[in-house]
Amino acid sequence: MAETALVLGAGGLTGVGWEIGVLHGLAEAGVDLSDADLVVGSSAGSVVGAQLTSGKLTLPELYERQLADPAGEIPGQLGAGLVLKYARAVLGSRTPEAYGRKLGALAVAADAGDEAARREVIARRLVSHSWPERRLLVTAVDAGTGELRAFDAASGVPVVDAVAASCAVPGVWPAVTIEGRKWIDGGIHSCANVHLASGYARVVILAPQPAGGGPLPSPRRQAERLEAEGARVTLITPDAAARRAFGRRTLDPTRRAPAARAGLAQAGACVESVGRVWRG
């Protein structure tokens, strides 16, 4: 069995901030997850995963970036009408793929801005535009088939494009064109895509969005499946203070810094459980 895997789930800009805050706090307490053999990133987690594995900045530096003025970011919003469309799609789907097709059709039909301009936003977030030497999986969903794909260094797809696709929230941001096909948010298949860490002995999951729904398994349910396979797993989800810091505007750049501080504050309560798993 392979060794360590870090799974970073979806959760908007607040999810990016919170995950980096948690990772920074854990490292300060002596449990550094940045040396994971595998990093799986979905949506917000893809941004964090690409930054973390780049080797360009330390965790303290990545944390300070979350506190800086979010210049260049474009605010997004999941309005009530769009949330209702999501809810109807998930309740009317029997599989994650069926849900992905419905939201793929929504994304392709939506007037969600310029794809090239959105790519530039993602490019500015990333500290490197090259795939890392360590194994990084960036998830996205095919808008036509609803199927999940995990892009990596062997895919031949630029990491900026892969992360842009993974962050393409349907109806908010434009679907991303890769290899002649349209791709949307990797968190549409599941909030964290924990199953991609199958086969690893020790797995830590950071899931800003802990719930499942309809055909979409929750991160906890997926974690239990890994444990049934023999892995040692711990799952971290936002505590009450972090949820307050997120508020309802998870795509608002101004909420990123409060979310990062909340993640840093929460990390102390997670050190023991994460250390037991990570240190073997």
Read off the DSSP letter of residue 216: B
Sign of the C-alpha dihedral computed for residues 171, 176, 180 and 183 taken in this order: negative
How far apart (Å, rounded) are the C-alpha atoms in residues 109 and 174?
10
CB 192 within 8 A of CB 205: yes
Angle, helix 44-53 to helix 159-166, in steps of 10 degrees: 150
Angle, helix 96-109 to helix 80-91, in steps of 10 degrees: 150
Q: Where are the alpha helices (DSSP H) in the chain?
A: 12-28, 44-53, 59-67, 80-91, 96-109, 115-125, 159-166, 219-228, 240-246, 256-267, 271-278
* Identity of the amino acid at 76: G
As annotated, the active-site residues are 43, 185
